[in-house]
Amino acid sequence: MDNSLKDRVAIVTGAGAGIGLATTRQFLEAGARVVAADLDTSALQALGGDGLHPVKADMRDADAAGQLTREALQRFGQIDILFNNAGVATARDGFLKISDEDWQATFNLNLMGYVRMSRAVLPHMLERKRGALVHCASETGRIPHPLLPDYSVSKAAILMLSKILATEFTGQGVRSNVVSPAHVRTALWDRPGGFLDSLAAKYGSGREEAVDIFLKTANIPSGRLGRPEDVAAAVLFLASAQADFITGVELAVNGGVTKFV
């Protein structure tokens, strides 16, 4: 067996950049047809191809999951894979500064977006007795981040959501697993005002020098930042036939950061 996704149809949320875009690309290269959702579909449109169906969707919207499911079935006739990836991370100034509205906004996308999307595709997968759910969590689901309290809690919840889904549905042909990335260089790092600019200001250095300093202080055994393609490769594996006997697990993609957790 290999990582071929020939004759498979996947839905990817948060597909317009970073990990979602890299996963969409690898799914397509593996032979899958992909319904790729994001608020900004420009990068997806640039990929092109008959096997790709970009959809502008806001996963904060309770109706988005049903919309994507219907579009996948209408366009391709089946759904074999779901990669829940859309999420938000907002730096906070301490736990006491986070309002109820902040908590609700984070959980509505980071957790309930996954719940709604899983609930939407499961009936079809169960009818066919085949399916793979993969959910993107984070190392912060296990190692709390002081600047990301609500984000960390939402990612911890995803770990249990996947186990619940695996427990109930694996016997009916649907697997559920998690990838937990850390220190992956995406647009969250590189955009103006992003994490890299914050590091440069903290260290009083240039942007690339800040990366070198961070790598020395963050104790990442691999000695480099992750790439979106690193995470995408893990998602591809978990979605493929090679992982048919793997369910209810968390695959850490972090260069060894959580080796003792």
Listed in sequence order, the residues at least 6 apart from 156 whose beta carbon sits closer than 8 Å to its beta carbon are 137, 140, 141, 142
Within 8 A by CB and 6+ apart from 29, the residues are none
CB neighbours (10 Å) of residue 197?
A: 15
Q: State yes or no: is 203 an active-site residue.
A: no
| Cβ neighbours of residue 169 closer than 8 Å, sequence gap 6 or more | 122, 125, 126, 175, 176
The letter for the amino acid at 110 is N
Encoded amino acid at 79, one letter:
I
- Are the beta carbons of 37 and 86 closer than 8 angstroms? yes
Triad 177, 133, 112: Cα angle to 5°: 95
Q: What 3-state class would DSSP assign to 36? A: strand
**Given the residues 27, 83, 151, 195, the one annotated as active site:** 151
What's the rounded Cα separation, in Å, for the pair 86 and 39?
10
Residues labelled as active-site residues: 151
